[in-house]
């Protein structure tokens, strides 16, 4: 039987898990935009403008945190709950969440659903998807609940908030933190808590755990006391993530120590805490306890690089991911040393993985440079701020020097597109848009063009 042309094209477009994920994320952004445009979502008269609602919904679903309006005052409680729900859905992954709901309701999972879930969660095989999805839900909810309890207690007993308000603040910021979203219910984000360890440290812990990635967290839960059993992915992620974290904390703290607009006015313990927190957040968190618009150029550049690298794969962090960064570093080292293979610890990294890492990095560089150039052409903002904003959007970080609301409509649409692409990943997006794949049935003779 011949299918109608319309049905045939739809099947061809949605034949891969990547295409389904892109479509699902787009659908949730649309739903979130519509809900935020409702008058009940906005504090002022009428509903939010389309561009404002679209940008906020995209930022929430892509767990970024860039905003054009003040989350604390512009949106009602209903609107803030919508944002929190979009953050949670975006953080867990549309298809991972849908597969989990289907599993719990019907106690079974079809092959297409397993393939989709494996693609979204970066599962190593079809057989472990069921256990992986349940593990993702348990770990996520457990961490969010623990952080919410700690924050609720602090808001309740430390700041005199009413019990209901304290609980609401605790849950919202816990969800935003673990999902590396960076949305806050305070107009100055977390600047008012810069020297409060009972707020900053639980949020920083949630940021780190969410940024490591679900495969790492689940493996640590099983093999925490047996590091010799850890996979190469877990070892690479942990070592690279925390090495970059130490470098970031030391550099930011030292560079901003005497800056009168950032760390300078604080007492030494407060400087250390604020420096630590600002060293954590570039890994795609989006919270800030200091004003990035007042930071030194060196700090801005270092933060831009850290944002671009991002966090762990298959988690709530963005960027090109630490595994991509470290693999490319070892590729360079192997080439400099004249080695034939790329070896890390006791494993050889295959050529396919090397090509994937190179493709992700180069696509990311191309997208960031193109968006930065476009924003420079349509605004009169300085390169430092525009590049910082663009990388923040692509890496789904949410940090800003304060220019987001100043951008024209076209600029906001560019950033929304960067957030969408950054959350899904360049490779996933490109594969989702490709209608068909072609493989050559032959191999061409090897060519050796001059390099350098």
Is residue 150 a part of any domain in this protein? yes
Range of the domain at 233: 17-112+132-433
| Structural tokens at position 124 | 């190593």
User: Is 21 a member of any domain?
Assistant: yes
Q: What is the DSSP letter of 193?
A: G
In a domain? residue 11: no
Is 446 a domain residue? Answer: no
**Under 8 Å between Cβ of 178 and 88:** no
What whole-number distance in Å separates Cα of residue 236 and Cα of residue 324? 10
What gap in Å lies between CA 426 and CA 368, rounded to an integer? Answer: 11
Phi and psi torsions of 4, nearest 5°: -60, 155
Does residue 291 lie within any of the structural domains?
yes
- Six-digit token string for 430: 């490109």
Contacts of 152 (CB under 8 A, 6+ apart): 166, 167, 169, 170, 171
Q: Which residue has the tokens 């630490």?
A: 322
**Any idea of the CA torsion for 15, 17, 22, 24, to the nearest 10 degrees?**
90
- Cβ-in-10-Å burial (0-12, 13-18, 19+) of 414 comes to buried
Amino acid 110: pLDDT = 54
Tell me: the pLDDT tens digits for 71-127? 999 999 999 999 999 999 888 875 565 444 444 444 444 555 555 545 544 554 444
Name the pLDDT band for 442 (thresholds 50, 70, 90): confident
Nearest to residue 58, comparing CAs of 80, 23, 92, 83?
83
- Biggest distance spanned by C-alpha atoms of the chain: 76
Helix (H/G/I), strand (E/B), else coil: 42? strand
State residue 329 phi and psi, 5-degree precision: -65, -45
Instruction: Identify whether the C-beta of residue 143 lies closer than 8 Å to the C-beta of residue 118.
Output: no
Q: How far is CA 62 from CA 54, 70, 241, 254, 282, in A?
A: 12, 18, 21, 32, 16
> Of the candidates 374, 378, 369, 404, which has an alpha carbon nearest to the alpha carbon of residue 389?
404
- Are the beta carbons of 410 and 54 closer than 8 angstroms? no
Sorting pLDDT into bands at 50, 70 and 90, what band is 345? confident
C-beta of residue 90 within 8 angstroms of C-beta of residue 26: no
In eight-state DSSP terms, residue 310 is: -
Per-residue DSSP letter, 347: E
Count, in order, helices (H) and strands (E) of the chain.
Answer: 19, 2
Confidence of residue 293 (pLDDT cuts 50, 70, 90): very high
Residue among 28, 55, 38, 46 at smallest CA distance from 409: 55
Q: Is the pLDDT of residue 229 over 90?
A: no
Could you tell me which residue, 285 or 165, shows the higher pLDDT?
Answer: 165
Residue 85 to residues 89, 115, 133, Cα–Cα distance (Å) = 6, 25, 19
* Phi, psi for residue 75 in degrees, rounded to 5: -100, 145
Q: Indicate if the pLDDT at residue 450 is higher than 90.
A: no
Report whether pLDDT(446) > 60: yes
Is 440 part of any domain? no
Q: What is the pTM of this model?
A: 0.87
Report the 10 Å Cβ neighbour count for 433: 11
Does residue 448 belong to any structural domain of this protein? no
Q: How many domains does the chain have?
A: 1
pLDDT band at 351, cuts 50/70/90? Answer: confident
pLDDT-derived band at 445, boundaries 50, 70, 90: confident
Place of tokens 């150039």: 373
CA distance 244 to 322: 9
Q: What confidence category does residue 1 fall into, taking pLDDT thresholds of 50, 70 and 90? A: very low
Q: What is the pLDDT of residues 171-222, one digit of tens each?
A: 999 999 999 999 999 999 999 999 999 999 999 999 999 888 877 887 888 7
Place of tokens 């094209």: 9
For residue 18, the number of C-alpha atoms closer than 13 Å in the C-beta half-sphere is 16
Q: What is the pLDDT of residues 242-278, one digit of tens each?
A: 999 999 999 999 999 999 999 999 999 999 999 999 9
C-alpha distances in angstroms, 351 versus 80, 144, 339, 379, 406?
Answer: 46, 38, 13, 42, 44
Kind and range of the H or E run holding 342: strand 342-344
- Indicate the helix (H) or strand (E) that contains 163: helix 163-178
Q: Does 406 reside within a domain?
A: yes
Confidence check: pLDDT of 377 > 70:
yes
pLDDT of amino acid 440: 60
């Amino acid at each position: 039987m011949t299918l109608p042309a319309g049905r045939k094209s739809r099947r061809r477009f949605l034949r891969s898990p990547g295409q389904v994920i892109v479509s699902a994320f787009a659908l949730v952004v649309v739903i979130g935009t519509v809900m935020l445009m409702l008058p009940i979502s906005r504090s002022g008269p009428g509903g939010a403008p389309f561009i404002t609602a679209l940008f906020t919904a995209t930022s929430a679903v892509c767990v970024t945190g860039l905003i054009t309006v003040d989350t604390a005052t512009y949106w009602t409680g209903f609107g803030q709950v919508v944002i929190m729900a979009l953050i949670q859905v975006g953080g867990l992954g549309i298809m991972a969440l849908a597969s989990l709901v289907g599993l719990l309701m019907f106690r079974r999972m079809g092959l297409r659903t397993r393939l989709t879930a494996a693609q979204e969660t970066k599962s190593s095989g079809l057989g472990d998807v069921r256990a992986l999805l349940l593990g993702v839900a348990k770990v996520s909810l457990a961490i969010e609940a623990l952080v919410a309890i700690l924050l609720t207690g602090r808001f309740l007993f430390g700041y005199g908030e009413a019990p209901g308000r304290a609980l609401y603040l605790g849950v919202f910021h816990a969800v935003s933190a673990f999902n590396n979203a960076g949305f806050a219910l305070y107009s100055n984000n977390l600047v008012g808590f810069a020297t409060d360890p009972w707020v900053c440290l639980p949020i920083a812990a949630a940021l780190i755990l969410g940024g490591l990635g679900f495969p790492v967290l689940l493996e640590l839960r099983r093999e925490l006391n047996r590091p010799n059993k850890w996979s190469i992915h877990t070892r690479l992620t942990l070592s690279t993530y925390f090495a970059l974290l130490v470098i970031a904390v030391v550099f930011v703290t030292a560079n901003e120590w005497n800056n009168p607009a950032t760390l300078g006015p604080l007492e030494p313990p407060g400087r250390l805490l604020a420096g630590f927190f600002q060293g954590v957040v570039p890994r795609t968190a989006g919270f800030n306890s200091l004003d990035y618009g007042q930071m030194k150029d060196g700090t801005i550049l270092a933060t831009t690089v850290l944002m671009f690298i991002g966090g762990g794969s298959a988690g709530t962090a963005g960027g090109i991911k630490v595994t991509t960064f470290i693999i490319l570093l070892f590729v360079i080292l192997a080439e400099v040393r004249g080695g034939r293979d790329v070896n890390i610890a006791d494993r050889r990294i295959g050529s396919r993985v090397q090509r994937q890492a190179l493709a992700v990095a180069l696509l990311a560089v191309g997208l960031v440079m193109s968006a930065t150039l476009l924003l420079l052409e349509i605004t009169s903002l300085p390169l430092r701020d525009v590049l910082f904003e663009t990388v923040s959007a692509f890496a789904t970080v949410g940090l800003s020097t304060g220019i987001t609301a100043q951008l024209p409509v076209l600029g906001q649409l560019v950033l929304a597109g960067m957030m969408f692409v950054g959350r899904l990943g360049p490779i996933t997006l490109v594969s989702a848009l490709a209608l068909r794949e072609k493989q050559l049935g032959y191999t061409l003779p090897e060519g050796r063009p001059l390099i350098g």
